[in-house]
Structure 1
Amino acid sequence: MADIISCPSGLTGRIRGMRVREERVLADRKLAKSGGQVDELLSACWEDLLEAGPYAFADGRVDWGQVLQGDRFYALLQVRVLTYGPEYAFAVPCQNAACRARIDWELDLTQLPVRALSDTSRAAFMAGNRFETTLPDSGTRVRFKLLTGEDERRLPQLQRAAPEKLLSSVLAYRVQDVDGVDARDKRRFLEDLSLRDADFLVDEFDAVDCGVDTTLEVECPECLMRQEVELPFDRGFFLPGTQRTTRRRERSTSSPV
């Protein structure tokens, strides 16, 4: 089954659901380590480019390394919907330390809010992917970029190298230059930012970006606490059969003899 989709930036094409041969992509540990699974999966399921949107693909074929993170996730979501349908069931632990019950939740993936790339952001992206803002506390102007597939591959490596500096690693990667700050001192400048400036900068990233809102509100069936969680995006997202097997095993072991 194939369908035509239009991504948040305007990138439009025909996609299909996954076939059995795509399971090797999901099981490839080398691809998982290099961050290449998403590119391989999208390349396999994208059948025809109808509109390039803001991208300048050299040979008329989609280069997923150039594609914005928001477009990539949206396309993956549609591949999953075409493969298994829009319903997605998952489980998360309750965030209430006094409870920690298991929350089983189900949602319709087609109902997740989607934010389109604005005309202003599209123009800035096409003009070199440079965005500008002024930090409220320091009054300093900084320029930053939107993340693409190439960035998606590199960021986890940087985060693994310095997990204790997760926020500063992300900021240093996305911020291209800072007024009055030498390139060699950029990381130090960002680590000395007030948390207000850091939060503002992350909000600015989100304000000009596009994509799917994956923050969900769920309710614990035990303590009734409502809490925000991120949509689980792991191997089970594309191979729900493994989740069913796990749930059956858990029910089996918990059943009275």
Structure 2
Amino acid sequence: MHTFELPSGIEIELREMTGAEEELLTNQRLIRTGDAVNQALKNCIVRLGDNDEPTVKDVLDLLSGDRLFILVRLRQISLGDEVELELTCPNTACRASNAVTVNLDELEVTPYGEEREFAFTLPGSGGKVRFGYLDGHKEKRLAALKEPSISSAMLIRIIDVDGAPPTKKIMNDMSMRDRGALRQEMLRVDAGIDTTVETDCQSCGTRIRTRLEAEPGFLFPGVRL
């Protein structure tokens, strides 16, 4: 068994992934609903704080930064520290394949503070917005949307705007200046593990940027999905 401290400060004990988790994480129906990751995490968490029988609800209750941290550490203890990626250049005139190696031990981890709600004043309108962190429940709701957008990803984190419940109309009416500032504030307070991968194309120099968990080589080295 392997013990880690989550970005939120909770101690967790994990076991390695097996073929059962590989089946879950390659099930397209479960992937679309978000249930694949939730069930895989539940299977592999032996202990969550003082809870030695965590349920799927306990997994969904976790903050998103903790959930991604667990997924990265599960990959690490199951398949090793290094991840070999093949990244395709986004330049349509190039499209070269670039080999990149990522060491999971070197990923930066930012701990959560004690606050779970945040107040922000929009610079343009002066409106007051209260928002919180993403967790597994909110991730599942986003996964269920037919057409998730930047607005929906922000909206799901907002508690209220000037004391009123958030709506799509409020987000659509918000100026781009205010939306951009609110988005940056949400990013500023976020915590967890940084899985950003950046490199320059070896053929044309175009910047390539992706997230580690979005690449097939992260969980399934050598397998094309």
Query: Fold conserved (TM > 0.5)?
Result: yes
- Contact conserved, 2:47 with 2:53, CA < 8 A, in 1? no
What is the identity, as a one-letter code, of the residue corresponding to 1:203? Answer: Q
TM-score, scaled to structure 1: 0.78
Q: Which amino acid aligns with 2:155?
A: A
Q: Quick check: 1:141–1:178 contact (8 Å CA) kept in 2?
A: yes
Partners of 2:88 and 2:27 in 1: how far apart? 28
Q: CA deviation at 1:150?
A: 0.8
Summarize deviations over 1:110-131 as a string: whole Å, max 9, x none. Answer: 211111102xxx2x32xxxx32
CA RMSD of aligned residues (A): 2.3
Letter in 1 for 2:185: E
CA contact (8 A) 1:178 1:186 kept: no
Cα separation, 2, equivalents of 1:11 and 1:190: 34
CA distance in structure 1 between the aligned counterparts of 2:118 and 2:156, rounded to whole angstroms: 14
Corresponding residue number in structure 2 for 1:142: 129
Partner of residue 161, structure 2:
178
Structure 1 residues 100 and 23: alpha-carbon distance in aligned structure 2, compared to 1, 3 A threshold? closer
Structure 1 residue 71: deviation in Å?
A: 0.1
More helix by share: 1
Q: Which residue of 1 aligns with 2:33?
A: 34
Of 139, 150, 169, 1:167 maps to 150
d(CA) in 1 for partners of 2:18 and 2:66?
A: 22
Q: Secondary structure at the match of 1:13?
A: strand
Once the two structures are overlaid, the 10-residue window that deviates more, 166-175 or 59-68, is 59-68
Choose which of 25, 49, 54 in structure 2 pairs with 1:61.
Answer: 54
The alpha-carbon deviation at position 235 of structure 1 amounts to 5.2
- The answer to whether residue 194 in structure 2 is matched with residue 213 in structure 1 is yes
CA separation in 2, counterparts of 1:19 and 1:141?
47
- Mind listing any 5+ residue stretches in structure 2 that lack a counterpart? none
Letter in 2 for 1:112: L
Q: CA deviation at 1:179?
A: 0.7
Using a 3 Å threshold, how does the CA distance of structure 1 residues 32 and 96 change in structure 2: closer, same or farther? Answer: closer
Q: How many residues align?
A: 223
